């Protein structure tokens, strides 16, 4: 006998299938909502997760944040509360049962609005928390997500109803087992919020020399506190974070702009092309030229998230 959550998942699977059809990332007319469909085990994939909720309805996936592994499937959902460079690998997919997932992005201001409206208290003095987590899916959350996806079939309702459902979805996530991690990002003065400012600075200036003292000033922390809290949120040091951004951007430039590897190395902030090649090989498994040849043979699929 099917449970309520099984029936919800079946409906959501059918809805996502009806709005995808072919493999890849599929934006929707709800700007913060997108779908992913893959019918084989491509990857690994590299990119930056923005603050978002990720739900799989068919298949499974492993996400690496630094050296940490987050495995999730239709029984779970994944939340990223800050911008995080990750490696993703679809671990279950086939032409008969393709990997199907959705991502709903949100902003700290949307979270703060929910916290204020529902008077959900949070202690800004709490220690910084990891910016990514996996929780068990609940019927209340899946119901709200399904109602949001249904709106794609009635576009005239989206402008009025979608923001209300998104607010409900954020509320459900905040009420979840690890909701406190998401609360922290919206509270000005919390350690996680301060680290998010440092993250934003690195993302905007990834090609520049990283000055830890500047980051510490931005976060209003001592250098030692910055290192400790930054690693707690991102599972990596500021330098490791910057390196992942640089290498991901370099790969994108090489794949889509056919630029010389040495030139790309300088453009993303490396002073030594040989160091760039070594670190590129360490991250992606092959030197730049060979890696791009492999990607083009796979139609660039390996970089999709």
Predicted pLDDT of residue 1: 42
102 within some domain: yes
Omega before 297 cis (within 30°)? no
Tell me which of 138, 155, 185 is where a domain ends: 185
Predicted pLDDT of residue 304: 47
Q: Tell me how far apart the 2 most distant CA atoms of the chain are, in Å.
A: 62
Q: Is 92 exposed, middle or buried (0-12, 13-18, 19+ CB in 10 A)?
A: middle
Residues 121 and 264 in one domain: no
Cα–Cα distances in angstroms (integers) from residue 84 to residues 67, 78, 89, 236, 256, in the given order: 13, 13, 16, 10, 22
Tell me which of 185, 211, 228 is where a domain ends: 185
67 within some domain: yes
Predicted pLDDT of residue 187: 80
Residues 135 and 252 in one domain: no
Distance, in Å, from the CA atom of 153 to the CA atom of 130, rounded to the nearest integer, reads 36
User: What's the CATH number where 104 sits?
Assistant: 2.60.120.280
The first and second tokens of residue 199, run together, are: 């993250």
194 within some domain: no
Split the chain (305 residues) into runs of 10 and give each run's mean pLDDT. 82 95 94 95 87 96 94 95 94 95 94 84 67 94 97 97 96 90 82 92 96 95 95 95 96 85 94 95 93 76 50
Element (H, E) at 65: strand 60-65
Residues 43 and 165 in one domain: yes
Q: Number of folded domains in the chain?
A: 2
44 within some domain: yes
Contact 294, 286 (CB under 8 A): yes
Residues 157 and 245 in one domain: no
13 within some domain: yes
Range of the domain at 164: 4-185
Predicted pLDDT of residue 3: 87
User: What's the CATH number where 255 sits?
Assistant: 1.10.10.60
Predicted model pTM:
0.90
CA angle 60, 17, 302 (to 5 degrees): 50
Residues 176 and 245 in one domain: no
Residues 27 and 168 in one domain: yes
Tell me which of 164, 185, 206 is where a domain ends: 185
121 within some domain: yes
71 within some domain: yes
Sign of the C-alpha dihedral, residues 252, 55, 114, 174? negative
Residues 30 and 171 in one domain: yes
Q: Going by C-beta distance under 8 Å and a sequence separation of 6 or more, which residues neighbour residue 118?
A: 171
226 within some domain: no
């Amino acid at each position: 006998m099917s449970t309520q959550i099984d029936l919800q998942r079946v409906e959501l699977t059918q809805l996502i299938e009806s709005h995808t059809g072919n493999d890849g990332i599929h934006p929707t007319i709800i700007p913060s909502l997108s779908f992913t469909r893959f019918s084989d085990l491509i990857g690994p994939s590299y990119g930056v997760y923005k603050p978002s909720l990720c739900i799989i309805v068919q298949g499974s996936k492993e996400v690496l944040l630094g050296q940490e592994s987050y495995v999730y499937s239709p029984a779970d959902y994944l939340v990223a509360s800050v911008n995080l460079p990750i490696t993703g690998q679809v671990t279950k997919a086939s032409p008969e049962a393709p990997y199907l997932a959705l991502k709903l992005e949100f902003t700290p201001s949307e979270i703060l609005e929910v916290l204020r409206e529902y008077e959900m208290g949070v202690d800004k003095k709490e220690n910084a928390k990891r910016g990514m987590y996996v929780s068990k899916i609940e019927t209340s959350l899946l119901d709200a997500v399904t109602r949001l996806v249904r709106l794609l079939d009635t576009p005239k309702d989206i402008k009025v109803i979608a923001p209300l459902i998104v607010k409900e979805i954020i509320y459900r996530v905040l009420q979840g087992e690890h909701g406190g991690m998401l609360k922290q990002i919206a509270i000005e003065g919390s350690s996680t919020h301060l680290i998010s400012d440092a993250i934003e600075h690195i993302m905007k200036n990834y090609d520049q020399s990283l000055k830890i003292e500047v980051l510490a000033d931005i976060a209003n922390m001592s250098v030692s506190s910055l290192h400790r809290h930054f690693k707690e949120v991102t599972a990596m040091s500021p330098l490791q974070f910057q390196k992942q951004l640089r290498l991901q951007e370099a790969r994108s430039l090489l794949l889509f702009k056919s630029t010389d590897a040495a030139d790309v190395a300088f453009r993303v902030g490396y002073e030594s092309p040989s160091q760039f090649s070594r670190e590129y090989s360490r991250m992606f498994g092959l030197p730049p030229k060979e890696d791009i040849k492999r990607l083009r043979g796979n139609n660039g699929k390996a970089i999709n998230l």
